[in-house]
Each structure stands twice: as C-alpha cells, then as structure tokens.
C-alpha cells in the first residue's frame, strides 16, 4: 500500500517545514544554516525536506515571497481603511513604508 498524503496534508507539511526554517533563519546566518538542520527542526527527514524544497535558496525565497505577500496584503488593508488620502499623506505613507520594507 502506498502511503500518500492528501493535498491538505502536503500543504500542512510544507508549512511545518517553512515555519521551522523561519525560526532557524532568525537564529543563524544563511551560510551557517543547513538543510539537515532545517529537516531536524521540522521533524522530517532530509529526503522529505527535498521533496518540498529543492534547496536552501528555494526555501528562503519562498519565505521571502510569502513575507512580502503578507506585508503588501496588510498594507493594502490599511490603505483601504482610510477614507481619503491627500497626495502629501499618500507620498508620506509610501516613503515610510519603503523605509520599513528596506529595514
């Protein structure tokens, strides 16, 4: 019998790995972190890890893009909550948010 995961289980497993990796990326530099350490933190084998992410770089990019998506979703929601913007207010918001994003 083949042990296959449902789509939801696969999504949950990918999220489990990503969460573990994010924790480690906050503690160690990119060059110090290994796929073996990420697998251990996530509680999966290295083989399982590589089934979801082909490299440390692809995992990092996934985290980065997910973070950007969340940031811009939050920013959009904050902008939509404001009834109106003057041009000066909007430019100030863009400058502030650009600074925050760079930081």
Written as one string, the DSSP assignment of 22-69 is: HHHHHHS-TTT--HHHHHHHHTS-HHHHHHH-SSHHHHHHHHHHHHHH
pLDDT tens per residue across span 58-103 = 999 999 999 999 999 999 998 889 888 889 998 999 999 999 888 8
Residue 2 lies in a domain: no
Residue 60 lies in a domain: yes
Residue 1 lies in a domain: no
pLDDT in the model for residue 3: 63
pLDDT tens per residue across span 28-46 = 999 999 999 999 999 999 9
Residue 50 lies in a domain: yes
Residue 49, domain CATH: 1.10.357.10
Please give the tally of structural domains in the chain.
Answer: 1
pLDDT in the model for residue 85: 83
Structural domain range at position 85: 7-102
pLDDT tens per residue across span 3-13 = 688 999 999 99
Q: What is the pTM of this model?
A: 0.76
Residue 31 lies in a domain: yes
């Amino acid at each position: 019998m083949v042990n296959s995961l449902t789509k939801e289980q696969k999504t949950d497993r990918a999220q489990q790995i990503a969460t573990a990796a994010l924790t480690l990326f906050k503690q160690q530099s990119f060059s110090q972190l290994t796929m073996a350490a990420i697998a251990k933190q996530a509680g999966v084998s290295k083989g399982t890890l590589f089934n979801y992410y082909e490299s440390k770089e692809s995992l990092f990019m996934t985290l980065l893009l997910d973070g950007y998506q969340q940031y811009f979703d939050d920013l959009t929601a904050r902008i939509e909550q404001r009834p109106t913007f003057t041009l000066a207010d909007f430019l100030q918001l863009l400058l502030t948010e650009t600074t925050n994003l760079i930081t």
